[in-house]
Amino acid sequence: MTLFKGARETFADGLIYAPGYLDIREQDALLAAVEAAIEVAPLFQPRMPRTGTPFSVKMTNCGALGWVSDQERGYRYQAEHPETGRSWPAIPVLALRAWEELGDYPHAPEACLINVYGPEARMGLHQDRGEADLTAPVVSLSLGASCIFRWGPTRSGKTQSLELASGDALVLAGPARLAYHGVARILAATSALLDGDRINLTLRRVTKPKR
């Protein structure tokens, strides 16, 4: 495994933050790869289980499996796009590199969820726990507008905040793997890339590898 040698900060609860992980050229290249993926796998609007309330974030995926949610069947991973029925496109190489350099995990990721936030979009505090192998990290990359990212050990308790900017990486692993986290708001006029929108990619291992 190659290790990223740039700056990184580990918070007390195990959350690893690598600011500026992607330089400007890499951000442009990753954005181009995301745009190509959206051509094949169009953005969809997921809905909350039971209530059917739409998320304010639009989504798509890359990889063997993709995260989807609708009113009837709720949160799940599946191999097909929920609207086109087609398989998901391949995970961008720069995202795979981030998994290898930052993830400290010996198996490949299976899903790369792509979240697209408009200026008013946000994501409530939640845990990522739909994956069978919770020893695997979640590796996140951000592009475009900055956001206020929040996390804490419980849903209702105290949270800490971090401003995530374009090119930043974040890893939820070890004691932070099941941290509650979310996006409190998007910060206007923080990036020329994407004109006020924000894109976040999260790489995930979904199934338990055969050992």
Which neighbouring-strand residues pair with 82? none
Q: Is 107 marked as a binding-site residue?
A: no
Among positions 124-143, residues that touch ligand AKG (CB under 6 A) are 128, 140
Hey, is 88 helix, strand or coil?
Answer: coil
3-state secondary structure of 72: coil
The 8 Å CB, 24+ separation contacts for 51-55 are 55/123
Element (H, E) at 143: strand 138-144
Residue 28 annotated in ligand binding: no
Residue 2 or 95: the one with the smaller Cβ distance to ligand AKG is 95
Q: Which residue in the shown chain puts its C-beta closest to ligand AKG?
A: 200
- Strands 138-144 and 147-152 come out as unpaired
Full DSSP string of 24-44? HHHHHHHHHHHHHHHHHS--B
Q: What is the DSSP letter of 3?
A: -
Interaction of residue 206 with ligand AKG, rule CB under 6 A: no
With respect to Fe ion, which residue has the nearer C-beta, 101 or 128? 128
Q: Which positions from 74 to 113 touch ligand AKG by CB under 6 A, shown as an x/- string?
A: ---------------------------------------x
d(CA 92, CA 37): 9
Q: Does 181 bind ligand AKG (CB under 6 A)?
A: yes
Binding mask 109-138 for Fe ion (x = CB under 5 A): -------------------x----------
Taking the least distance from each CB to Fe ion, the nearer of 40 and 185 is: 185
128 is in an annotated binding site: yes
**69 binds ligand AKG, rule: CB under 6 A:** no
Residue 30 or 123: the one with the smaller Cβ distance to ligand AKG is 123
| Closer residue to ligand AKG, CB minimum distance, 101 or 115 | 115
Q: Which does 115 bind (CB under 5 to 8 A by kind): Fe ion, ligand AKG, none?
A: ligand AKG
106, with CB counted inside 10 A (0-12, 13-18, 19+), is exposed
User: Cβ distance 137 to 109 under 8 Å?
Assistant: no
Residue 143: strand pairing partners: 199
Where is the binding site for Fe cation, in residues?
126, 128, 181
By CB under 6 A, name the binding residues for ligand AKG.
Answer: 113, 115, 123, 128, 140, 149, 164, 181, 183, 200, 202
